[in-house]
Structure 1
Amino acid sequence: MSTPTTTRVALVTGGSGGIGRAAAKRLARDGFAVAVHYAGNRARAEETVAAITAAGGRALAVAGDVADETEMALAFDSVRSAFGGLDVVVNTAGVMILAPIETLDLADLDRMHRTNIRGTFVVGQQAARALRPGGALINFSTSVVRTQLPAYSAYVASKAAVEAMTLVLARELRGRDITVNAVAPGPTATPLFLQGKDEATVDRLAQAAPLERLGDPEDIAEVVAFLAGPARWVNGQVLYANGGLA
């Protein structure tokens, strides 16, 4: 049964870990009721929900493959049924597999494109149908779209598509009072980033930015909170949150 509320409501895809978890907790501190989405790690999503509720917030976990329109329609419906509406969608769910073009397994290319491109399209489509006036959709790109490092070609291609979809959807939602932006993090200390990298590589990337450190998930969550809340005049943009890397 729907529960009417004036509380702002956010859905965070990929909210079970990394940047998604930090964003969910940050929005909860701002007073949002938060739906923590997960694809496979239910236990981790429930931990995020428990952390939010323990701090006095409202949260629930919702499941679904971001690239499956039926599953995501059900997830969006569950959020609106539980909290009475939807105001912000933060789409952090993504896959990153690194290899040179010459050797990349095309199955890995297809996997990244399914989650990063089709998944962004499906979530954007659902968000466009569900968000209330005053709402925001926040997609996720990567600073490697600018830095163009070797071995990132397939991942960068998928995220460049995310940026293009973000800008187009912002224009398609003219007159709806809904902003659509993307965040492009630099090297950030998440499992997705650290996976497969040796200590020397991590240290080198940490020193690349003028601030000489890796980003924390909480650094990126602050950008999300800005776009979800006060940044009503920022629309159709890609915000590079990378400590000055590029």
Structure 2
Amino acid sequence: MKHNARKRILVPLAAGVLATLLLAGCTQPATTTTTDADGNTVTIDWVDYPANAGIPASDVLALPMAEEVEARANQLISEVKDALEAEYGITEWTTSNEGGWFPEEGNGYGGTSLLTTYNSASYGAEIRIPVEQWDDVIDTVRTITQKYEISEERNETYIEEYPEWMRFGGFYRGTESFDIMVQDDTLNPEHATSDSDDELVTGVSLLYVITTISKGDRDEFIQRAAPYEGLRLPEATTSD
């Protein structure tokens, strides 16, 4: 009986990446083997993936593009501040860690990423809010982030270990997130006051973050992402 061997198609590594891997001798390229519509076995190399390891391309395409981000972030933060002022009398905000853009470099698979990350400034208000109102403060912010479709919630384990003196609300949609923390470090038995301590001790802090693409990169992003549609993202193989 004659057996027909399936044709094996390999999407090759970029020469520079392959040379680096051979020299390193310990990092294996991330590949996925699947079958195309013609029944051919296809091995796809993730070096050309346009996002980052762990970030589905579809999540990125559902988010605002970079050109829309700063106006959106400013409006969201302004609405949150207005609501917190109206309901809890929070009026005096300071900023730290100036916001800005931080382009991603590697995609985690030895290739380049088209993603860029925006961090807002960190906003803090020094005010003592009664502990029994902390959950209400988080609920107020939740109502606003839901209007922006930032409605999924995450937990920060290390914060949950200290519920007596801080409460955290982390809301996200894909790689877009908005965080609020209410805290009173003086309730922490291990808290030591210091005149040199310029971090927020008692009050509320806010932060907005998004990882997305620019309008000019969208077409290339879609084209590069197409071969990976429906595939499970492998673990990162590089630390870039």
Q: TM-score, normalization: structure 1? A: 0.24
Structure with bigger RCO (C-alpha 8 Å, 6+ apart): 2
| Structure holding more helix per residue | 1
| Structure holding more strand per residue | 2
